[in-house]
Amino acid sequence: MWTGGQSLKRVGERLMSQPSITPEPFVLGGPPPAGAVLLWEWKYTASGIAASGTLTSSSSLDSSGHFLISGITGSRNGDPITALEPAGQAIPGNEGFPVDDLIGPGGSLTGNGFGYETASGNFANPFFADFLNPPTFREVVSLPAFSEVSIQFQAHLVPGVAIATAAPAAPGDSLRLDVIHAPRTGILSLLGTTVQYIPTGKNARTPVTFSFDLKDQNGSTTPVVTVIAAGNGSHTLTGAASGYTDISLGKGNNTINLNGSKNAVTLGSGSDTVHGGNGDTISITGNTRLAIHGTDEMVFVAGGNVAIDDLSTGLNLSIGPTIGHAVISGFASDPNGVVDLTGGLGGIHGPGNGIVRVEE
């Protein structure tokens, strides 16, 4: 079989691999929950240079007031971008100047900037040269030949919420959105490798439900993602049998039954029970009492006062720096459970003025 210059191993890897997708925690109004991702559009130009695409980042500011970039798509002069340079590493040929992959709330970069690799083997690093007079954005390209020039850089947040992020089967593969059940309100779109939902009107008490998958140019398909979103109110909901269900609810008392794996649930204030599957992500955004079942569940607590009844196995609980009081019961019966207190542990006081108490 003629492979057009590709090795048989490369062709085999492509045939065996599939594009993947991850549902992301989200809320339809207000600040994004812990664990959510933000979507950015970026571009820069200079003489003979045109680069643009999308970035995904954390939704929480670090101590320097920046978001950490976690993914990138796009192209530079038509050359597809295939990878983000990891924070703390320099692009090849520019040793001693590591990137930090940080972006400010207004789309600004730091003096380290971010880096990326393209399909042709090029490496580029846009950054903000605040040491120049006047300060300006610059781009370093290290391969195939080193160059550094001033650029016009822009980045802005994309309206709406990121509900899923995908990874193609192979770098440079194109993806398209396949809407299976369209939302009755709002706009669903694919930007780069991120599925974005823009709600219209007020958050409805009656859940908005829709589903989709992504397909690549070879016909390979991601798992189907089912989204259920509603405002305040109490609900009893069941996720898709295949998993990959993304649920976002406001204030209320809710019972959620999940199946499979890779589910994501975001909850406002209330008293909630989640019968999890395996490897799900639960984000709490208010004063909440949560009874959690399942295996290897990840629970993010951003703030407020919470009480968590651990009825699961292998709970991974992450408690943020603005927590009020957190009471965790049943944790002693979970030998594989982990509690991560962002900001430290003392007595057992959580970060800030919060207090975390673990009960048997």
How do residues 40-54 score in pLDDT, each as one tens digit?
Answer: 999 999 999 999 999
Per-residue CA distances from 42 to 33, 54, 72, 152, 153 (Å): 23, 6, 10, 11, 8
pLDDT of residue 60: 87
Average pLDDT of span 101-122: 96
Residue ranges of the domains in the chain?
17-157, 170-358
Average pLDDT of span 231-243: 94
In this model, does residue 286 exceed pLDDT 50? Answer: yes
The closest of 257, 255, 282, 285 to 269, measured between CA atoms, is: 285
In this model, does residue 8 exceed pLDDT 50? Answer: no
What token pair was written down for 331? Answer: 């944790």
β partners of residue 167? 20
CA atoms of 237 and 234, how far apart (whole Å) = 10
Residue 307 buriedness (CB in 10 A; 0-12 / 13-18 / 19+): middle
3-state secondary structure of 94: coil
In this model, does residue 208 exceed pLDDT 70? Answer: yes
Question: If you write DSSP's letter for every residue of 10-48 in order, what string do you get?
Answer: HHHHHHH---EEEE----SSSSPPTT-EEEEEEEEEETT
Report the half-sphere exposure of 124 (CA within 13 A, side-chain side). 25
pLDDT of residue 358: 56
pLDDT of residue 322: 66
CB 195 within 8 A of CB 189: yes
Q: Give the pLDDT band of residue 157 (cuts 50, 70, 90).
A: very high
pLDDT of residue 7: 39
Which of 160-169, 181-190, 218-227, 316-325 is predicted least confidently? 316-325
* pTM listed for this prediction: 0.81
Per-residue CA distances from 294 to 246, 253, 278, 332, 360 (Å): 16, 19, 6, 16, 18
pLDDT of residue 126: 98
Greater pLDDT, 357 or 85: 85
Amino acid letter for position 2? W
pLDDT of residue 253: 96
Using omega within 30 degrees of 0 as the cis cutoff, is the peptide bond preceding 348 cis?
yes
Average pLDDT of span 96-123: 96
pLDDT of residue 111: 97
In this model, does residue 327 exceed pLDDT 90? Answer: no
Q: Give the pLDDT band of residue 311 (cuts 50, 70, 90).
A: very high
Per-residue CA distances from 31 to 16, 36, 38, 59, 284 (Å): 40, 10, 11, 9, 12
230 in the Ramachandran plot: left (φ > 0), alpha (ψ -120 to 50) or beta?
Answer: beta
Buried b (16+ CB within 10 A) or exposed e, 335-344: eebebebbee
pLDDT of residue 348: 40
pLDDT of residue 266: 95
DSSP structural state of residue 333? G
Residue pLDDT, tens place only, 158-200: 988 999 999 999 887 889 999 999 998 888 999 999 999 988 7
Q: Give the pLDDT band of residue 121 (cuts 50, 70, 90).
A: very high
Report the half-sphere exposure of 3 (CA within 13 A, side-chain side). 11
The dihedral sign for the CA sequence 186, 191, 196, 202: negative
Q: Give the pLDDT band of residue 351 (cuts 50, 70, 90).
A: very low
In this model, does residue 86 exceed pLDDT 60? Answer: yes
Greater pLDDT, 265 or 356: 265
In this model, does residue 98 exceed pLDDT 60? Answer: yes
3-state secondary structure of 290: strand
In this model, does residue 222 exceed pLDDT 90? Answer: yes
Q: Residue 126: which residues within 8 A CB-CB, separation 6 or more?
A: 44, 51, 109, 113, 114, 137, 138, 139, 151, 153
The dihedral sign for the CA sequence 228, 207, 196, 251: negative
pLDDT of residue 204: 65
pLDDT of residue 52: 97
